Structure 1
Amino acid sequence: MSLMITDECINCDVCEPECPNQAISQGPEIYQIDPERCTECVGHFNEPQCQQVCPVDCIPFDPDRKESQDALHQKYLKLIAA
């Protein structure tokens, strides 16, 4: 399951540098997460780092993008091979 950033985002800039997959970028109004690059930090950390640093708790799991741990790990392997 990918993560997503909700409208509660205050553009504080702390999540973007924490993402090991460079999945977070500034969108038109708030930060956004590229679901093709988001592995929930699988392969890097035990917990999603963006969720850990977000001061307003606006980074939930995206219910429309459910992925197993194996699928997230496979995505991670593709990203590090590129």
Structure 2
Amino acid sequence: MALRITDACINCGACAVECPNTAIYEGGVPWQWAEGTQLKEVLIEGKKVDATLPQPPYTEDVFYIVTDKCTECVGFHDEPQCSAVCPVDCCVLDLDHTETQEELLAKKQFLHG
């Protein structure tokens, strides 16, 4: 499953620099599929979209994790690095987005080729 950042976030940014997928963004900042990945295009609602186009931020106030880019660091590290470095333990499993180990590895392959 992906991870999420709770409202307890103190906006230190320690998590963002550790993410191998560049899936963590500052609140209010748009994100891109291409940033930190090999993607040139993505399918969104059945349409090919330029992966460099900005996407709307998930939140305005605290750092956030883009669910579709989070692989829980599977294929990179033994544990999610955002959780490992978070000083207030606000990087937690997102129970609304469960994925198997195989699905996370497939997502890593999709993002990084």
1:20-50: CA deviations, max 9, x gaps? 0000001111000000000000010010000
TM-score (ref. length: structure 2): 0.71
CA RMSD, Structure 1 to Structure 2 (Å):
0.5
Residue 50, structure 1, aligned to residue 82, structure 2:
yes
CA distance in 1 between counterparts of 2:81 and 2:61 reads: 22
Moved over 3 A (4+): none
Give the one of 40, 58, 61 matched to 2:93: 61
Deviation at 1:13, TM superposition (A): 1.1
- For structure 1, the 5+ residue unaligned runs are none
- Which residue number corresponds to residue 4 of structure 1? 4
Rg larger in 1 or in 2?
A: 2
- Which residue number corresponds to residue 21 of structure 1? 21
Higher strand share: 2
Tell me the number of residue pairs that the alignment of Structure 1 and Structure 2 aligns.
Answer: 81
- For structure 2, the 5+ residue unaligned runs are 28-59
CA distance in 2 between counterparts of 1:72 and 1:22 reads: 15
Letter in 2 for 1:74: A
- Which residue number corresponds to residue 39 of structure 1? 71
Report percent identity of matched pairs: 51
CA distance in 2 between counterparts of 1:13 and 1:52 reads: 13
